[in-house]
Structure 1
Amino acid sequence: MKQFKIESLQNPRVKLWAQLLDKKGRDKQGLYLVEGIHLVQEALRYDAGVETVLYSEERGLPAEIAACLNDGMVERIAVTEQVLIKCSDAQTPQPVIGIVRKSAKTIEQLLASPESLVVVVDGVQDPGNLGTIIRSADAVGAAGVVLGKGTVDLYNPKTVRSTMGSMFHVPVVETELLPLLDLARSRGIQLVGTSLQASRSCYDMDLTVPTWIILGNEGKGVSAEVAAQVDTGVIIPMKGRSESLNVAMAATVLLFEAMRQRGDRPRPV
């Protein structure tokens, strides 16, 4: 594929790319930004829908990215540092940015999993928390992650960075939760939520059956409507004086307990 060069900040394409820093622009174009060598490399490796790669004319196309572009199907454009800054959310602009199509994953993929282990996120607001939840789901080989309305945008640059590439490894679907949870229950999936008022320990809960773990907002928890759909509430036992765990930490504990119960042998890290 022919390589292009763009230097002007007034270039129409640069203006469109800069709009992807905002949710409105991402929704309108159906695209989002991926910044940095590792994330762009992961997006290319896992066929995440990269349409264009922007790279620093001054620093050149990183060798790791060039190795993933051998088929010539992805457009590559050399740009000035000023263009990278205009299109970047990071404090220090990365040498490469990917312009990526939004995912077309469907909820049926998660419902069809015979030993389904899914995380359902209801209103989590912090990009770092959402990114950690997705990374933990990826780490245990979960079937996917479902994001309900009111959850921070998956394609927010801060969320994308915090997933460290895991959003390209595990299906992440955005949808209305109430009809989905009702459908999941009709398929025999148990819906498990965390609660400080619960009497049942997560270690006493059978997580070997198809299970969806429901997690809520950092301050308010799961909404009343979603909480009403939960089959069983569990508590994560603690010996110290901490009142509760961060939502991302709670997700990690529950996911790894499910992996332990299922007899999955983790790979060395």
Structure 2
Amino acid sequence: MLDIISSTQNPKIKNVLKLQEKSSERRKQHLIVFEGNRELDLALNAGFNIKTLFVCKDVWGDERIEGVSQRDIFYISKDVFDKIAYREGSDGLIIVAEPKYLTLETLALSPNPFLIILEAVEKPGNLGAILRTADASQADAVIVCDPRTDIYNPNAIRSSVGCVFTTQIVASTNEEVLAWLRSKGITSYAAALTATEFYHETDMAKPCAIVMGTEATGLTDHWLSGANKQIKIPMRGKIDSLNVSTSTAILAFEAMRQRGF
């Protein structure tokens, strides 16, 4: 008979909640939390070290779990699962794993790299959506400058539908990233309403990076003056209504179009 954790006061369950709620705990324990079999498969394929897997058999059923040692699997009741699950339609798996933190120096770049750079991204949902775009367009990496949200925030992982595990991600500073781009000969295009050149008039077939700012204030002067060029998306409406994730997708797929997909 399976031992089933049925109390939310269980120390392991209390720790999962702490990891979900506090980035400081994730950094301190060097652990992240996410949900779902698809995400588990993607994390395993990317070489992430799975520490603990919580399984609710009332939801998951009797399917076989591959790639995780039985000693690292704990079974939980439906009540406990409902307490710690944070997305609708979850399939009964909650995973605790070690994160991977890449640096600019450890990025693996293609011969003709395309990069997405985000300055001071603060909404986990936007970060997750942009990671989906990066995966779909096969960008070499997403670089987050001076982030205001944890790149392994559970909501970022959820909204990325696991693309946090399929995309190279680096968190760094504005200064380091701009210097690194210059050292690599990668042209930087800053997306800005003040630009005079439209994105589709820009050469994105060469090694390049698009630089996106926050929805509230856009890019800082560091990028507006430091990037090789400013570009913009034609806006035909009465307001500048595109959010940063949508704008990123438009620019990324223009780069892919110019490169023949």
TM-score, length-scaled by structure 1: 0.86
The code of the aligned residue for 1:29 comes to: Q
State how far apart, in whole Å, the 2-side matches of 1:148 and 1:172 are: 11
CA contact (8 A) 2:55 2:74 kept: yes
State how far apart, in whole Å, the 1-side matches of 2:179 and 2:71 are: 41
Query: Is 1:258–2:233 an aligned residue pair?
Result: no
> Alpha-carbon deviations, 1:129-166, whole Å to 9, x = none?
11111111111111010112233222222111100111
CA contact (8 A) 2:190 2:223 kept: no
Report 1:1-269 matches (<5 A).
Answer: 5-21=4-20, 22-61=22-61, 63=63, 66-69=64-67, 72=69, 75-90=72-87, 94-110=91-107, 112-264=109-261
State how far apart, in whole Å, the 2-side matches of 1:102 and 1:124 are: 19
Structure 1 residue 9, shift from structure 2 partner: 2.8
Secondary structure of the residue that 1:145 maps to in structure 2? strand
CA contact (8 A) 1:36 1:96 kept: yes
State how far apart, in whole Å, the 2-side matches of 1:44 and 1:191 are: 33
Aligned residues: CA RMSD: 2.3
Structure 1 residue 239, shift from structure 2 partner: 3.6
Change (3 A) 1:226 1:234: closer
CA contact (8 A) 1:118 1:213 kept: yes
State how far apart, in whole Å, the 2-side matches of 1:62 and 1:46 are: 25
Structure 1 residue 112, shift from structure 2 partner: 4.2
Structure 1 residue 8, shift from structure 2 partner: 3.3
Q: How many residues align?
A: 259
Secondary structure of the residue that 2:254 maps to in structure 1? helix
The code of the aligned residue for 1:31 comes to: L
CA contact (8 A) 2:104 2:180 kept: no
Structure 1 residue 247, shift from structure 2 partner: 0.8
Change (3 A) 1:111 1:223: farther
CA contact (8 A) 1:182 1:229 kept: no
Structure 1 residue 225, shift from structure 2 partner: 2.5
State how far apart, in whole Å, the 2-side matches of 1:141 and 1:73 are: 34
The code of the aligned residue for 1:152 comes to: T
CA contact (8 A) 1:51 1:74 kept: no
The code of the aligned residue for 2:36 comes to: G
Structure 1 residue 17, shift from structure 2 partner: 1.7
Secondary structure of the residue that 1:44 maps to in structure 2? helix
Deviates further, 84-93 or 21-30: 84-93
Deviates further, 203-212 or 219-228: 219-228
Structure 1 residue 259, shift from structure 2 partner: 0.5
State how far apart, in whole Å, the 2-side matches of 1:254 and 1:140 are: 10
State how far apart, in whole Å, the 1-side matches of 2:226 and 2:155 are: 31
CA contact (8 A) 1:193 1:233 kept: yes
The code of the aligned residue for 2:43 comes to: A
CA contact (8 A) 1:146 1:175 kept: yes
Unaligned runs of 5+ in 1: 265-269
The code of the aligned residue for 2:134 comes to: A
Q: Name the structure with the higher helix share.
A: 2
State how far apart, in whole Å, the 1-side matches of 2:174 and 2:3 are: 43
